[in-house]
Amino acid sequence: MYDYDEEEGMVPDISIHAEPRPCTRCKGEKKNFRAGFTYEGTTYPDKWEVCNGCKGEGFFAEPDYEAITRLMTTGKGDKYRMRSTMTSTKAFQSNDRNLRRATYVHRLACFHGRRKAGDQCMPVMADIALGTDPWKKELNTFAESIAKKFFGTDMVGVSRWARALGY
């Protein structure tokens, strides 16, 4: 599912199309059960709700790596660079999975490769933007390859946190 490229490292082989994967929250059921409870004298009954992880779709299609790259970069012709920022609040408000995935990959790529102050902080909001997407492992690998491509390394965040954790 991944090819090795000398310049970019491990990159997803987008010629192979995988089957959609079930949502990690509802397991493809498209809905979640919420147990009833009583609070301050008011009783709330058991109910089924549309899964908020997949918005009731149940499955996530394979990432469109080219669309994700276009959302994260800017430029003309063959001169592209990473955007300096991608607002995670837009990703939270959007139902566009490519935007959510691009926000996640952008943040992780900046964590792994950019030497700008503040980029080596743990990318907690990136995980929240991605939500229950079952393609997280592939997107992590893609983020590392993007970091190598645009920043030349994918070890900046690791080196900072290794020192902090005593390695």
Express each pLDDT in 95-140 by its tens digit.
Answer: 788 899 999 999 889 888 887 756 667 777 888 888 899 999 999 9
pLDDT at 39: 94
- Whether 10 maps to a domain, the answer reads no
Looking at the fold, whether 143 and 100 belong to one and the same domain comes out as yes
Q: Kindly state the DSSP code that residue 61 receives in the 8-state scheme.
A: P
- The per-residue pLDDT for 2 is 47
157 has a pLDDT exceeding 90: no
| Residue 120 structural domain | 62-167
Same domain for 56 and 106? no
pLDDT at 38: 95
Q: Does residue 84 sit in helix, strand or coil? A: coil
Quote the pTM value: 0.77
74 pLDDT above the threshold of 80: yes
Number of domains in the chain: 2
State the pLDDT at residue 156.
Answer: 80
The whole-angstrom distance between residue 136's C-alpha and the CA centroid of its chain comes to 6
Same domain? 78 vs 33? no
Q: Is the domain of 30 the same as that of 69?
A: no
- For range 46-67, the mean pLDDT: 92
**Residues contacting residue 113 through CB under 8 Å, at least 6 positions apart:** 146, 147, 148, 150, 151, 152, 153, 154, 155, 156, 157
Q: Are 113 and 34 in a shared domain?
A: no
Residues 17-53: pLDDT tens digits?
Answer: 689 999 999 999 999 999 999 999 999 999 999 998 8
Q: Is residue 90 part of a domain?
A: yes
Q: What is the pLDDT of residue 23?
A: 94
Q: Widest CA span of the chain, in angstroms?
A: 65
**For range 143-156, the mean pLDDT:** 87
Q: Is the pLDDT of residue 1 over 50?
A: no
Report yes or no on 134 lying in a domain. Answer: yes
Residues 43 and 69 in one domain: no
Q: Are residues 114 and 41 in the same domain?
A: no
pLDDT above 60 for 15: no
